[in-house]
Copies of this chain bind each other. A is one copy, B any other.
Amino acid sequence: MEKDNLDSLRQQIRGVTADIMQKIQQRMDLAKQIGDVKSKMNIDVKDEKVEQEVRLAVMKQAEELGMDKDFALRLLGILLSESETVQAMGRKPTAPKQTHLGIFQKARQLEESGKKMIHLEVGEPDYPAPESVGNALSAAFRSKKYHYTETAGMPQLRNAIAKIAGVGRDEVIVTPGGRFAVFSAIAGLVKPGQEIITIEPAWPAYRECAEFVGAKARVLKTTFESQWTPDLSELESLVNGGTKMIAINYPNNPTGKTIDRKTLSAIVSIAQKHDLYLLSDEVYSEYAFGQFHSVLGFGYEKSIVVSSFSKTYAMTGFRIGHAIASPDIIKKMTKVQAVGVTSVAEPIQHAAMAALSEDASANIRLVEKRLKFVCSKLDQMGLKFVKPTGAMYVYPQLPFGEDMPIVESLLEKGLAIAPGSGFGDSYSGFVRISACRPEDELAGGLEILSSVLRAA
């Protein structure tokens, strides 16, 4: 009896599944036709406005049908991305974007083949990590501290970080670099088909991680003309039922912008109002030349504050960072860490522990001085830029042309800088210059830039 019932229901579900597939194919055929029309009209395949309308309509329908919203959005995400693929077929593929890391790999290859390179493409300080860090590394080996640790980090390191931040140990996770903190937050909290909002120009990691999990990065663009200030009403207008997170980064990479407490407070309010996670990448917090305001200060329970030992203590190649969030969020991030890496190397954790007692203020003053030096040189060259009030970068506007050809010529001449377009689609008119190197190297690099721009 029940068995017959089960068989009949299964029969029905098969029929409905076939109907669904048929309808979806019909949708793809229509998408293809739309693609052809767009191609004739010579307009872009992507249309954010139309997509937003479709998304809102589907969410409304899902609510009426009593369908799980996340589920509806995941489905829609797949349908939309497949439509885009179908529409883009036959069109000339756009070249994959080069990021600062791509240029770094190229520069390294050139170096390996014997070329001398000035590296102003990565935020890689030349000043050394503290002596105590090296001692801790050696001591860790001598005392056999090179075993698996707790996934979220050694208790003593989590305790030490928690104490400095004024939070509990269960609100801290130690990660292999600030990047993995971003990765585990996005992968642990955002599902396929959902959305995050990034403020561009931005370090590409937020977008990359979102796309990696099958989520969408919706972009709030800021402009040189408005001094890279985010428009908060525009930010709020990007929120839809599928939005899960806002990712911010101040002091900003690549622009060096910082924001005041009032603006930050308004962003926290928007996140709170729409129940969104707020990922605040504060790896340059020590490099704020005015007063720094952390998202931590707002006590918002859905915030995730990412920090790193890389920039403050010149420990980029140690690959260690951390995040502070509610115990519940930390648990979700820890799960991702368990799947990907088990734990951070124990000797590295001991090295980071030592760094925590060090005073990095001399590093900060040095970078500030170098940034001033770069700015004065760029001024002399007549390049325009917003004066950085934090981080370690200047993001000048090119006087003409696109970033990539210029970046490529510079590579040939022995200078690596980052293309502006690596930080967002609308920024090929900019380049990012890192000011972590000694003044003579900076001067040499800027001399190359100047001569290439003059010759072009």
A: residues with CB less than 8 A from B are 2-3, 5-6, 9-10, 12-14, 16-28, 30-31, 33-34, 37-38, 40-41, 50, 54, 57-58, 61-62, 65-68, 71-72, 74-76, 78-79, 82, 101, 104-105, 108, 112, 122, 124, 128-129, 133-134, 137-138, 141-142, 144-151, 155, 176-177, 179-180, 183, 187, 192, 205, 208-209, 212, 214, 315-320, 336, 338-348
Contacts and interface: CB of A to CB of B under 8 A. Distances in A.
A7 B341 CA distance: 49
Given A68-B82, A124-B147, A319 B340 contact: no
A97 B101 CA distance: 39
A340 B179 contact: yes
B342 A345 contact: no
A317 to B, nearest CB: 4
A31 B31 CA distance: 29
Contacts of A19: 23
A37 B96 CA distance: 51
Contacts of A346: 317-318
B79 A342 contact: no
Contact of A148 (B112, B124, B340): B124
Contacts of A71: 78, 82
B30 A9 contact: yes
Contact of A37 (B2, B317, B348): B2
Q: Which 9 residue pairs across A and B have the least CB separation, nearest first?
A: A134-B141, A317-B346, A146-B317, A147-B317, A319-B345, A25-B65, A138-B138, A13-B30, A16-B27
Given A17-B54, A124-B147, A319-B345, 15 more contacts: A2-B41, A16-B26, A16-B27, A23-B23, A24-B67, A25-B66, A101-B151, A105-B150, A108-B150, A147-B316, A177-B342, A180-B341, A214-B214, A317-B343, A341-B341
B21 A342 contact: no
B61 A18 contact: yes
Contact of A347 (B30, B317, B336): B317
Q: Which of A179, A320, A345 is most buried by chain B, counting CB atoms within 10 A of its CB?
A: A345
A3 B68 CA distance: 35
- Dominant SS among interface residues on chain A: helix
Given A6-B34, A141-B137, A148 B317 contact: yes
A6 B76 CA distance: 20
Given A22-B65, A41-B3, A151 B317 contact: no
A137 B348 CA distance: 10
B21 A34 contact: no
A133 B141 contact: yes
A183 B336 CA distance: 11
Copies of this protein in the complex: 2
Contact of A27 (B20, B61, B192): B20
A318 B146 contact: yes
A329 to B, nearest CB: 18
B16 A317 contact: no
B10 A34 contact: yes
A192 B214 contact: yes
Contacts of A133: 141
A443 B24 CA distance: 63
B30 A23 contact: no
Contacts of A34: 6, 9-10, 13
Contacts of A340: 179-180, 183, 340
Contacts of A20: 20, 23-24, 27, 75, 79
8 contacts: A6-B34, A24-B67, A137-B137, A137-B347, A147-B316, A317-B343, A317-B345, A340-B340
A229 B2 CA distance: 39
B344 A17 contact: no
Given A18-B61, A124-B147, A50 B345 contact: no
Nearest to A19: B23
A142 to B, nearest CB: 7
Contact of A72 (B9, B21, B67): B21
